[in-house]
Amino acid sequence: MVCLTSSSLDLDTIRVSSLHALAYCERLFFLEEVEELYTQDAAVFAGRRLHVQIGKQEGEEYEELFLESSELGLRGKVDVLRTIKGELIPYEHKRGKPARDDSNKPIPWDSDRLQILAYAYLIESALEQKVREGRIRYHADNVLVKVPFDDSGREEVRQAIHRARELRKSLFRPPVTSNERLCLRCSLAPVCLPEEARLTHNREWQPVRLFPEDDNRRIIHILEPGTKVGKAGEQIKITQPEGLTELVPSQEVSQIVLHGFVQISTQAVHSLVDKEIGIHFISSGGRYVGSLDTRSGSIQRRIRQYQALSDPDFCLSLAKRLVFCRAEGQRKFLMRGRRNKTTSFACLDECIDQMRDVIQKIDRADKIDSLLGYEGNLAALYFKGLSHLLVEQTDPEMHFDGRNRRPPTDRFNALLSFGYTLLLKDMVNAILVVGLEPALGFYHQPRTQAPPLALDLMEIFRVPLVDMIVISSINRQQWHVKEDFEVRGNQVWLSDAGKRKFVALYEKRKEESWKHPILGYSLTYRRLMELEVQLLEKEWSGETGLFANLILR
């Protein structure tokens, strides 16, 4: 390996690979270089394997050369640098096929061309030796394309560096590219959401889903007190108090949820953080304690979040949509229960009708306090009607007579509280994955360990992910009033057996799909939570109208 630099690493220099992104799509450059958001899909890993294979094949001719020129403002790693007839020639290797001109002659793609020109210019500047051309090997067609390097090439690179610096200083994300085909091959499409962005400007647009369907990795809940979580190579080691050990490959895990008195080693924490696996803590009483925030970068995303959510009028407009979304979902859940009931029509009808009247007033709210008043009325009506969704043969111990918490005083509320804790944890995880700040919301106020933005977003998912689970599981008589609950005076908690049962029901529910009413495609609930955070971020990025539309039908 050779390392030559004209100075120590200068943060003002531009990476050559980022110029490749700039030529491909300015929005891609901004997401990577300004917002510091990256994804690694199969194509990225395949490209890395190709470079490793090239290194082995080239033998002594292959050099991994790191160069930096503060004068030019560039830095980068040259794949291959050869001396042919006394002249230095940089080589780039690409997995795909070259572009073709009108005569079907292979030519470089614009982004590849700029990249090899930038390497040529960097070599000239750092090594002070003239370069006349660069070469690109396209392995899919086994084609070598030569790219002349002259004054026009130097000017092209200088203009690209200038544009990159302009974008670095900007707080505004560039618009989605007009070339839709570029999005299909872009690894950052799940972060950029180009199809969804186009839909905000043209509601007749028929989006091609680019957001990933699901994350199939496991979410591991560790509930037994005294369990120890450690690291064994590339595996997570879970040791129960009685000594039984389970090894789980790290690549199969997306979150570790530690309930109560569970220990985790420093080595395990470092490994999980390095692999971007979420670490969350829930108390033995079922209260959300906190999450390990391992974000690096995303500063620009949070700056824009702070700016947007410092505007009271903007917050009020978002809060109205949120309260409407939750209330309409609750009302329609009661209506769904009304269709399945043979008795208690009058009470359900009254609650449904009164909720409709209050919902119509939401848009009149001129401040958050007024909106909180409407929400309080809606919640009281909803929980009054919710008790009538239970079947007649429900055990009296499982009946519901209004919402209570901190601590819950009956089994129904114990189920609701534990379910909302799991949902809060998942919303915090989604917020951290997207790169926003959980502590800054637009509706809820800061209190204890519950981050306001997570409290805001979980309103959208309370009914489908918690309330429906509680009602359906009670109606199916899935709960044992003695074994699944612990009663301590006036306090009622889920036992360890009850927690395990609820976690299984909750995680299974998250695997079910819901078709987005605006976007028109279906995603699992676990993926929809992350998507909803992405759509919220679009509200202050000029791509509005998609957030808080997930309303139960």
Q: Helices 368-386 and 345-359 sit at what angle, rounded to 10 degrees?
A: 170
Q: What is the pLDDT of residues 213-267, one digit of tens each?
A: 777 889 999 999 999 999 999 999 999 998 899 999 999 999 999 999 999 999 9
The token duo for 415 is 């189920």
Q: Name every residue whose Cβ is closer than 8 Å to that of residue 79 and which is 6 or more positions away in sequence.
A: 51, 54, 64, 90, 91, 92, 93
Q: What is the pLDDT of residues 503-545, one digit of tens each?
A: 999 999 999 999 888 888 888 999 999 999 999 999 998 888 8
Chain centroid to CA 454: 13
Please tell me the distance from the alpha carbon of residue 11 to that of residue 231, in angstroms, as a whole number: 35
The token duo for 488 is 């301590």
Average pLDDT of the chain? 87
Binning the chain into helix, strand and coil, the percentages to the nearest 5 are 45, 20, 35
Where residue 552 falls (left for φ over 0; alpha for ψ -120 to 50; beta otherwise) is beta
Please tell me the distance from the alpha carbon of residue 511 to that of residue 526, in angstroms, as a whole number: 7
- Its pTM stands at 0.82
Please tell me the distance from the alpha carbon of residue 410 to that of residue 413, in angstroms, as a whole number: 6
Report, as ranges of residue numbers, the positions in the chain whose pLDDT lies below 70: 1-11, 38-64, 296-297, 339-344, 447-449
Distances from the Cα of 307 to the Cα of 86, 320, 442, 530, angstroms: 56, 19, 12, 22
Q: What is the pLDDT of residue 5?
A: 41
Q: What is the pLDDT of residues 286-298, one digit of tens each?
A: 899 999 987 766 7
Structural domains in the chain, sorted by start: 2-192 (3.90.320.10), 218-291 (3.100.10.20), 309-539 (1.20.120.920)
Q: What is the pLDDT of residue 208?
A: 77
SS3 sequence, 49-60? HHHHHHHHHHHH
